Chain A
Amino acid sequence: DAGVTQSPTHLIKTRGQQVTLRCSPKSGHDTVSWYQQALGQGPQFIFQYYEEEERQRGNFPDRFSGHQFPNYSSELNVNALLLGDSALYLCASSLATSDNEQFFGPGTRLTVL
């Protein structure tokens, strides 16, 4: 039973560029949430996708956008990268009926130079 997978593992970009991160949920899960974790901090909620729609969003600018596909996988896109976007980006999957019990992927480490 495959867990949550994310790609790529590491990524280096320069300011102003755009990036796309990918996530495949745990088998049987239909909901994907994205988090940003700065060094030494707890994860910050970016948004959650269910049935291919964004149904909740955290305090992040419109530069952060996402998508969920019919197979429940998801992408996180960040435009006009800033130095402050450097962080570990975590994807978590859950079942819509499960009290939001989430299972996390290994994360993508994004460095913006």
Chain B
Amino acid sequence: SQQGEEDPQALSIQEGENATMNCSYKTSINNLQWYRQNSGRGLVHLILIRSNEREKHSGRLRVTLDTSKKSSSLLITASRAADTASYFCASYTGGFKTIFGAGTRLFVKA
């Protein structure tokens, strides 16, 4: 079974709005990574947050990590039509294996 679960499964917003996606995982992690995937193509690495970090920023992206709740969130501010994609969280437990969730499908309407 997959380690991570994203919520919501799908999200539709207007351009300029913020998008928030949540991820939960089951066991202790070394780090958690977020990826974007456009139309069934390869995944693009967005951001990595380590287990001893609580928040990280990269451009319009903000990621938080709550290890006590085993959860993370990805916030995309001022969304654009080009942000339309599937977003995955992936947890790394240190055993050379990264476990992905099922993803959140984001649709940004122009």
Q: CB within 8 Å of B: which residues of A?
A: 4, 33, 35, 39-45, 48, 50, 55-56, 58, 88, 90, 92, 99-107, 109
Contacts and interface: CB of A to CB of B under 8 A. Distances in A.
Contacts of B92: 99-100
B31 A45 contact: no
Interface residues of B, number: 25
A40 B9 CA distance: 10
Contacts of B99: 45
Contacts, number: 64
Contacts of B2: 42, 44
Given A99-B31, A99-B50, A101-B48, A45 B42 contact: no
Interface in B62-110: 88, 92, 95-103
Contact of B102 (A42, A88, A100, A106): A42
Nearest to B92: A100
B45 A90 contact: no
B30 interface: yes
A68 B30 CA distance: 26
Contacts of B88: 42-43
B60 interface: no
A42 B100 contact: yes
B43 A48 contact: no
B22 interface: no
A106 B41 CA distance: 5
A43 B90 CA distance: 9
A58 B92 CA distance: 13
Interface string B31-68: 10101000011111100101000000000000000000
Nearest to B98: A100
Contacts of B96: 48, 50, 55-56, 100
Given A33-B98, A100-B96, A107-B41, 13 more contacts: A42-B4, A42-B100, A42-B101, A42-B103, A45-B99, A48-B97, A56-B95, A56-B97, A88-B40, A90-B42, A101-B33, A101-B48, A102-B98
28 contacts: A35-B100, A42-B2, A42-B4, A42-B100, A42-B102, A42-B103, A43-B88, A44-B100, A45-B99, A48-B97, A50-B96, A56-B95, A88-B40, A90-B42, A92-B43, A99-B31, A99-B48, A99-B92, A100-B92, A100-B96, A100-B98, A101-B33, A101-B45, A101-B48, A102-B33, A102-B98, A103-B45, A106-B41
